Structure 1
């Protein structure tokens, strides 16, 4: 019995666009579509915590993407989330619990690469996941904001400091592995011939 492909939930209030995203991803993943925020939460509940990644529009009537994201995080659902939206990013994204942010329009290649990246991140420990998420937010803001705006924003400065802390922690962990362990010995269990 083979393992099922990862499950991706596409949340988009424009049905044609949601269906297009689903078609782009359908060859590699199991895909669910939701055409609104409440429908997205219902799909998540029905999937019984099986959703691996969510592509989430921010601006939707009724329950917004921001509200869906908050509900997902409050429920403790362990999945990666990318906002795919026409809303230009602002400093408010620093407080949001997403992993990546794409500004529409997006291409099929960009969408696939984003989902691949989200799923890879899910394999890392929480510090590395946080590092990827914060680095993504930093890159988004650096493309949208001037150097002066960034320098004057305390939240952005805190973000930069947190990224440096996480990088230093990752570097120290890597140094500990390379100093204390022989890489050949460390990975020899993976080289077993069948």
Structure 2
């Protein structure tokens, strides 16, 4: 997916108006940007047209955590990054975000997270889950929170998904081999060499 598509819509949510405006300025040349300065306003603006949401966690009315939970409950389908000054803790293990970025951030980092999340929208469900777990794992490692049950559960779930994906790839490889059988039911080596 090319990141300069005007059809991609990014929702920027932060109760600090200056930050919301700054992020919007950074993104608006490449994306359709919708902004909100509260959790309630974010929920009014999020819909099926939003491809990526950047959520602050600390907001006075509804926290970013609550907004995230509601977005997932509504099955909007947006990829969500928590873009926040809140250092990650084991509480993030159960949150259903796709990426976690700790402020302060630079323009390039904001663009990179949007591009990565737009790319991930094209992945199958298992791959999206795997990368969301990898983002949680990295966030916990960066906060030195890797000696917890929650961290171990993330690692195990990632390994489980990896095994499932490997089995799927093995199955596809076998199916591709069967597709090489000629009409007599014999493998046609000439097609391979």
TM range (shorter): 0.7 to 0.9
**Which of the two has higher C-alpha Rg?**
2
Shifted more, 157-166 versus 172-181: the winner is: 172-181
Partner of 1:5: 7
How much has 1:4 moved relative to structure 2? 4.8
* Structure 2: segments with no counterpart, 5+ residues: 181-193
Equivalenced residue count is 174
Q: Is residue 133 from structure 1 mapped to residue 132 from structure 2 by the alignment? A: yes
Structure 1 runs of 4+ aligned residues shifted over 6 Å read none
* Structure 1: segments with no counterpart, 5+ residues: 186-194
Partner of 2:36: 34
Equivalent residue of 1:181, what SS? helix
Contact 1:9–1:34 at 8 Å: present in 2 too? yes
| Aligned with 1:18 (options 8, 20, 32) | 20
Q: Is residue 43 from structure 1 mapped to residue 53 from structure 2 by the alignment? A: no
Deviation per CA, 1:24-60: give whole Å up to 9, x if none. Answer: 111111000001110101111xxx4111110000001
Structure having the larger proportion of residues in helix: 1
Normalising by structure 1, what TM-score?
0.85
The correspondence of residues 54-133 of structure 1 with structure 2, limited to 5 A, is: 54-133=53-132
CA–CA distance in structure 1, aligned partners of residues 97 and 56 of structure 2: 12
What's the Cα RMSD here?
A: 1.6
Equivalent residue of 2:77, what SS? coil
CA–CA distance in structure 2, aligned partners of residues 21 and 174 of structure 1: 39
How much has 1:171 moved relative to structure 2? 2.0
CA–CA distance in structure 2, aligned partners of residues 180 and 67 of structure 1: 44
Partner of 1:165: 160
CA–CA distance in structure 1, aligned partners of residues 45 and 167 of structure 2: 41
CA–CA distance in structure 2, aligned partners of residues 6 and 13 of structure 1: 23
Deviation per CA, 1:113-153: give whole Å up to 9, x if none. Answer: 1001111111111111100000110111112125xxx33x2
CA–CA distance in structure 1, aligned partners of residues 6 and 101 of structure 2: 27
Normalising by structure 2, what TM-score?
0.85
Equivalent residue of 1:115, what SS? helix
